[in-house]
Amino acid sequence: MTQTIAIEKLTLSAVEERFSMQPSTDERFFEEWQTNLPELTAFEKERVERIEAIYKNIERRPVLESSVNMAIVGPLLDAAGLFLPPFYLETEKTVEIVAEDQGAKLRGRLDTLIIRDFLWVLTIESKQAGFSLRVGIPQVLAYMLAAPKEQETLYGMVTNGRSFVFLKLKRGKTTRYARSKEFLIDQDAGLEQTLKIIKKLSRAEHGAVGR
């Protein structure tokens, strides 16, 4: 009988082992978060300031995952134009991945998925404020593996409302992944940088295997 495992219970080492995934050691593998970022318009900067103000207001009390999605993630995606065509949004999407050689089925429910032309643009996992982003990284990597098999390059983001980390996964004979540095909403214009990266990744080439 095939064993069903909840994706949220997986560690990073478990995801790497089950799917023969390795972190990339090539500094050029994930340059998208560092180079040629788009400039923000005055209106987008105003939106960033508003989200920062919202965070300052809600951080004084316990912030649940649903609050992070509503107060921080939603406005960020709206500011990046991802609620308008050609993008569309799926939330609480149930996904299943079969690790054939492991005799196991992985099941989970991703928080937010941005899609364009049937390709997964950005997979987002939100965590309760105060949670380490390390908890969400293996989840996002596993969720990205549920994307259509022909899609080679995938991007993800993990946030707890204050901190943001981006991930890139590339399928091949060996599946590789890398992560960005951690951006903080209240330090070094971290939210502006986060919005710039979201805008860039949403318009990046999400090609198919073999292209």
pLDDT grade for 101, boundaries at 50, 70 and 90: low
Its pTM stands at 0.91
As a whole number of angstroms, the distance between CA 86 and CA 161 comes to 26
Q: DSSP class of residue 172?
A: S
pLDDT grade for 63, boundaries at 50, 70 and 90: confident
- The residue ranges of every structural domain in the chain are 3-202
Of 200, 209, 163, the residue nearest 30 (C-alpha)? 200
Residue 173 has pLDDT above 90, yes or no: no
Q: Give the lowest-confidence range in 5-19, 92-106, 194-208.
A: 92-106
Query: What is the rounded average pLDDT for all residues in the chain?
Result: 89
Residue 2 has pLDDT above 90, yes or no: no
Arithmetic mean of pLDDT, 68-92: 94
Question: Helix or strand or coil: residue 204?
Answer: coil
- Structure confidence at residue 96 (pLDDT): 85
Residue 98 has pLDDT above 80, yes or no: no
**Burial level of 37, CB count in 10 A (0-12/13-18/19+)?**
middle
- Structure confidence at residue 51 (pLDDT): 96
Largest CA distance in the chain: 57
- What is the length of the chain? 211
Residue written as token pair 């943001």: 164
Arithmetic mean of pLDDT, 182-193: 95
Residue 126 has pLDDT above 80, yes or no: yes
Q: Give the lowest-confidence range in 20-24, 110-114, 133-137, 173-177.
A: 133-137
Dig out the tokens for 150 from the structure. Answer: 């022909």
> Which residues on adjacent β-strands are paired with residue 113?
90, 123
Residue 168 and residue 197 in contact, taking contact as beta carbons nearer than 8 Å = no
Residue 50 and residue 32 in contact, taking contact as beta carbons nearer than 8 Å = no
